C-alpha cells in the first residue's frame, strides 16, 4: 500500500516497508512530528501533501541506493563480487546447494563434530533447560550455567587458570586486543593474520606495526627499534608503554605454522606480550589437541591464548584462555564481551560437548583419521604438481593468482560435484586468489579420490606468479 503511494521509483515498489520508513523519518526531521501515509496524511490537524514529502524523502533514499549500486558495480568489475549461497542440507561432508549434492572441501569442521550426536544432544538439552536465547549480556543476567560450564571445560582443556567465551572469534580478538593495548602502546602483527586481528589492531589506538609473514628477523628489528625508543634514545620515549605481538599458530589461508618457539624467545627477550590465535590449530595439533603452543611446549609462556569454537570444536564462538587475572580484566574491559548479548545456551552447551570430545579417545581417533586424509590429499596433489610442503595441517592452499582463474576453477569443480569456493581479495592479497582446500575427519578415502579426479579433469593446475601454468613434475 505505502509502496504505491510513495512514487514511481522502482526501488520503492520493490521495498514497501522502506518507503514508509523514509517518509516517516523525513517528516519527523522536517516537521517535528510523525505522519501516517493514508491518502492525504492527517497529522495533528495538519494536512501534509504526499507528493512533496515523497519527492524529497525518496530523493535521499535513491541517492543512497545509487551510491551502493555504483560501489557494487566496481566490486563486480574487479571480479570480487561475493554472494550468499544457500545451503539446504548438511550431512557429514556433503552439502545440498540449489538442489545439488556437493562434496564439501571448504569446511573448518576439521574433526567432523558439528553434526556429532553428542553436540546435537547438548544443544537440544540446553534449549529445553534455558530456552533459545540468553536474554541479556553476560554482565546483566545472561551469564547462564552453560557459559560457565564451557569456560571451566576450556580452562581445563587448555591447562590455564581461566577461560572466557565470546560470541565469535572475531569478537574475542576485537574485545581482547582493544582491552589490552591503546594509545601510547604498540601492536605488532604478522602480515597474514586474520581480519579480526587487523581490525582490532586498527581500532585499538596503539601504534600498528606489521612484519612480513613469519619473518622473525624483521620482527626482531622492529622490537629493537622500539626498545631503543622506550629506553629514551628517541624523543618520543614513553617508558611505560606496552608491546603486544599477535600472530596465528596455523595460518587460515596458507595452512602453514608460525615459528612459535623462536617467537616466544624473541618476545621474552624484548619484554613484549604475545597473543596467539589458535583458531586452526585447536583440535588439530598437540598431543592433547590443544594447538601449536602445546606441540611446541610453550603454552605456559604465552600471555594470551585465543581460539574459536566454530572450527574443530564443532559449535560457534570464540575464547580466550590464560591467567585468572586476564579473564577478570577482560570481563571488565573487553567491550565486545560487555556490550553484547551472551551467546545462546545451545551454542555454549554444544561447544562444551565439543571440548569434552576433543579430550576423549574419540577425539584422538578423529584426529588420526583427519591426518590420514591430509596425507592422502597431499600425495595426490603432489602428483598433480601442487606443492603443499609448507602446510602443517588440514588447510592446503591451491594458489591460482588471478581472481578470475580462482572463480573459474571453483565453478569447474562445482560442475563435477565438488564444493571448493574461490578465496579472493580482501581475504587474501590481490593476485593471490586461491582454492583453500580443507580436509576433515568426515571425509573418506573415496571422497579425496573424487576431489583429486575433479581437479585433474577440470585442469585446475598450479600457476606461476605470471599466470602461466607451471610444468608438473614427471
Ligand X SMILES: Cc1ncc(COP(=O)(O)O)c(C=O)c1O
Cβ-based nearer residue to ligand X, 103 or 200: 200
Residue 397 backbone dihedrals phi, psi, to 5 degrees: -85, 130
467's grid cell: 599466470
Q: Does 112 bind ligand X (CB under 6 A)?
A: no
The Cα–Cα gap between 46 and 412 comes to: 63
Out of 6, 48, 95, 196, the residue judged to bind ligand X by CB under 6 A? 196
Which one of the spans 34-42, 214-222, 277-285, 369-377 is the region binding ligand X (CB under 6 A)?
A: 277-285
The Cα–Cα gap between 439 and 112 comes to: 10
Out of 112, 146, 169, 255, the residue judged to bind ligand X by CB under 6 A? 169
Q: Shortest distance, CB of residue 316 to ligand X, whole angstroms?
A: 7
Q: Does 249 bind ligand X (CB under 6 A)?
A: no
271's grid cell: 619484554
Cβ-based nearer residue to ligand X, 5 or 278: 278
Burial 238-266 (b: 16+ CB within 10 A, else e): eeebbbbbbbbbbbbbbbbbbebeebbeb
Burial 83-111 (b: 16+ CB within 10 A, else e): eeeeeeeeebbebeeeeeebbbbbbbbbb
326-385 residues in contact with ligand X (CB under 6 A) are: none
Q: Identify the residue whose cell numbers are 550426536.
A: 117
Q: How many chain residues bind ligand X (CB under 6 A)?
A: 13
Q: Does 308 bind ligand X (CB under 6 A)?
A: yes
119's grid cell: 553436540
Helix 260-269 with 216-230: angle, nearest 10 deg: 10
Residue 309 backbone dihedrals phi, psi, to 5 degrees: -100, -5
Q: Does 279 bind ligand X (CB under 6 A)?
A: yes
Residue 384 backbone dihedrals phi, psi, to 5 degrees: -85, 0
Which one of the spans 13-21, 135-143, 272-280, 331-339 is the region binding ligand X (CB under 6 A)?
A: 272-280
Residue 46, strand partner residues: 43
Q: Does 294 bind ligand X (CB under 6 A)?
A: no
Q: Shortest distance, CB of residue 234 to ligand X, whole angstroms?
A: 34
Helical segments of 111-159, H only: 117-130, 145-158
194's grid cell: 586474520
Q: Shortest distance, CB of residue 172 to ligand X, whole angstroms?
A: 7
Out of 318, 343, 345, 394, the residue judged to bind ligand X by CB under 6 A? 318
Q: Does 310 bind ligand X (CB under 6 A)?
A: yes
Please report the sign of the dihedral spanned by the C-alpha atoms of residue 197, residue 202, residue 206, residue 210: positive
- Cα dihedral 383, 385, 391, 395 in deg (nearest 10): -80
Which one of the spans 24-32, 163-171, 379-387, 392-400 is the region binding ligand X (CB under 6 A)?
A: 163-171
Give the catalytic positions in this structure: 108, 194, 248, 252, 277, 280, 311
Cβ-based nearer residue to ligand X, 5 or 294: 294
Q: Does 277 bind ligand X (CB under 6 A)?
A: yes
Which one of the spans 28-36, 127-135, 167-175, 337-345 is the region binding ligand X (CB under 6 A)?
A: 167-175
Q: Does 168 bind ligand X (CB under 6 A)?
A: yes
> Contact residues for ligand X (CB under 6 A)?
168-170, 194, 196, 248, 252, 277, 279-280, 308, 310, 318
Amino acid at each position: 500500500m505505502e509502496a504505491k503511494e510513495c512514487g514511481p521509483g522502482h526501488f520503492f515498489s520493490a521495498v514497501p516497508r522502506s518507503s514508509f520508513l523514509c517518509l516517516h523519518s523525513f517528516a519527523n526531521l522536517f516537521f517535528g512530528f510523525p505522519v501516517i501515509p493514508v491518502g492525504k496524511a492527517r497529522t495533528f490537524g495538519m494536512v501534509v501533501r504526499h507528493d512533496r514529502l515523497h519527492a524529497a524523502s525518496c530523493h535521499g533514499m535513491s541517492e543512497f541506493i545509487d551510491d551502493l549500486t555504483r560501489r557494487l558495480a566496481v566490486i563486480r568489475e574487479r571480479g570480487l563480487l561475493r554472494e550468499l549461497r544457500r545451503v539446504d542440507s548438511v550431512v557429514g561432508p556433503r552439502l545440498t546447494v540449489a538442489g545439488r549434492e556437493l562434496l564439501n572441501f571448504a569446511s573448518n569442521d576439521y574433526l567432523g563434530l558439528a553434526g556429532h550426536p553428542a553436540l546435537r544432544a547438548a544443544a537440544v538439552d540446553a534449549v529445553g533447560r534455558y530456552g533459545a536465547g540468553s536474554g541479556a549480556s553476560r554482565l546483566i543476567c545472561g551469564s547462564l550455567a552453560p557459559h560457565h560450564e564451557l569456560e571451566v571445560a576450556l580452562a581445563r582443556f587448555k591447562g590455564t587458570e581461566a577461560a572466557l567465551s565470546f560470541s565469535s572469534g572475531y569478537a574475542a580478538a576485537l574485545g581482547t586486543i582493544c582491552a589490552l593495548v591503546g594509545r601510547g602502546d604498540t601492536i605488532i602483527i604478522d602480515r597474514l593474520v586474520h581480519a579480526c586481528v587487523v581490525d582490532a589492531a586498527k581500532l585499538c589506538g596503539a601504534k600498528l606495526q606489521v612484519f612480513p609473514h613469519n619473518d622473525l628477523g624483521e620482527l626482531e628489528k622492529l622490537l629493537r627499534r622500539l626498545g631503543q625508543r622506550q629506553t629514551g634514545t628517541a624523543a618520543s620515549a614513553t617508558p611505560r608503554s606496552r608491546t603486544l605481538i599477535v600472530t596465528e599458530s596455523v595460518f587460515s589461508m596458507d595452512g602453514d605454522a608460525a615459528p612459535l618457539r623462536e617467537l616466544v624467545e624473541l618476545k621474552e627477550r624484548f619484554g613484549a606480550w604475545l597473543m596467539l590465535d589458535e583458531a586452526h590449530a585447536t583440535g588439530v595439533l598437540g598431543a592433547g589437541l590443544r594447538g601449536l603452543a602445546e606441540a611446541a611446549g610453550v603454552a605456559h609462556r604465552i600471555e594470551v591464548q585465543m581460539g574459536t569454537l566454530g572450527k574443530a570444536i564443532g559449535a560457534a564462538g570464540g575464547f580466550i584462555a590464560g591467567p585468572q587475572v586476564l579473564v577478570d580484566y577482560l570481563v571488565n574491559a573487553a567491550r565486545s564481551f560487555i556490550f553484547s548479548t551472551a551467546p545462546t545456551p545451545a551454542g555454549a552447551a554444544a561447544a562444551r560437548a565439543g571440548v569434552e570430545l576433543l579430550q576423549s579417545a574419540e577425539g584422538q581417533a578423529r584426529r588420526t583419521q583427519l591426518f590420514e586424509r591430509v596425507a592422502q590429499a597431499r600425495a595426490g596433489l603432489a602428483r598433480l604438481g601442487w606443492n603443499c610442503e609448507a602446510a602443517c595441517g588440514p588447510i592446503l592452499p591451491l594458489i591460482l593468482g588471478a581472481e578470475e582463474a580462482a572463480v573459474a576453477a571453483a565453478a569447474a569443480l562445482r560442475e563435477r560435484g565438488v564444493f571448493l569456493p574461490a578465496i579472493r581479495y580482501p581475504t587474501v592479497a590481490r593476485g593471490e586468489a586461491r582454492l583453500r582446500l580443507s580436509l576433515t575427519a568426515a571425509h573418506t578415502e573415496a571422497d579425496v579420490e573424487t576431489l583429486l579426479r575433479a581437479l585433474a579433469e577440470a585442469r585446475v593446475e598450479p600457476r606461476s606468479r605470471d599466470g602461466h601454468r607451471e610444468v608438473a613434475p614427471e
